[in-house]
Amino acid sequence: MHDDGGVRRRLLGLVVALLALAAACSEPPPPPPGLRVVTWNVQTGEHDPTEWAPVVADLHPDVLALQEVCTRDAEELAELLRRDHGLDYQVARGPIRPPTPAEASAPVNAALGPACDTGPNDVLYGVAVLSRLPMSPPRVVTFPPDRRDEQRGYLAVDVTTPTGPIAVANAHIGLDGVQADQLRRLAEGVAGSGPAIVLGDLNVDPTDPDLAPLRQGFTEVDPTGQYETTAHGKIDYIFLRGLAPTGPPQSPDVTSSDHRPLVADLRPGP
């Protein structure tokens, strides 16, 4: 007796397998792992998290580096993104230290406490990183004090990506002649061989020779300064090591800061 039912089942199984194979072959290959990063000076005091959240949600970065931010505002921004936009970010705070008595006499420092609803001895202002990827505890490095201006420094974290860890440094460089020393210290602090990203408001234009220490170990997403980030030109940067941009960056117009965000999509690369 012939088992016609068994033959039919085997033929049907073969047809299903062939159809699945054909469908798999017709599908495009998955895109390579990508990473979107954004650096943005958000001008705390003039603007607040309710203004920043729609911009960040529209850009949906994996890693967001903020400068001129009260660190409590960074946490409020993360909460707004989670509540209103379904985007889950971890926050690494990089507050500057409170000013010394001599520094506190400078008007810019005297204004920082009230701007962040704190006193002069518990300033919670500076830089922050928001990440949708797992992130290490932050390391905050401050530059030598400059009584003419707020305390400057950078925040360093490692983020975990599908292709491995990437070191991220978010910096805010000072003004009035301190740029060369601070950029040199930043370059020394991020030196190495592994994948890394340096983002921030560096307060120099693309032709400034003070950028040389960073350029020796990193490439830029916009080396010619085509994408201006302020009304006075480009002073915000994204430097890369072991990564490459997948296309040109963006610097969209916004009304929620005096800086435009600088946006880059990245992939593993030289």
Check which CATH number belongs to the domain holding 45 and give it.
Answer: 3.60.10.10
Percentage, residues of the chain above pLDDT 90 = 70
> Does any domain span residue 81?
yes
pLDDT for the residue numbered 15? 45
> Does any domain span residue 114?
yes
The total domain count for the chain is: 1
pTM (predicted TM-score)? 0.86
> Does any domain span residue 24?
no
pLDDT for the residue numbered 106? 75
> Does any domain span residue 143?
yes
> Does any domain span residue 14?
no
| Burial per residue of 37-56, b for 16 or more beta-carbon CB atoms within 10 angstroms, e otherwise | bbbbbbbbbebbbebbbebb
pLDDT digits (tens, 9 = 90+) for 28-67: 333 345 899 999 999 998 999 999 999 999 999 999 999 9
> Does any domain span residue 124?
yes
Average pLDDT of the segment spanning 146-157: 88
The pair of structure tokens assigned to 62 is: 């994996």
> Does any domain span residue 253?
yes
pLDDT digits (tens, 9 = 90+) for 207-228: 999 999 999 999 999 999 999 9
How far apart (Å, rounded) are the C-alpha atoms in residues 114 and 51?
20
> Does any domain span residue 6?
no
pLDDT for the residue numbered 124? 85
Q: Residue 220: give the domain boundaries.
A: 32-268
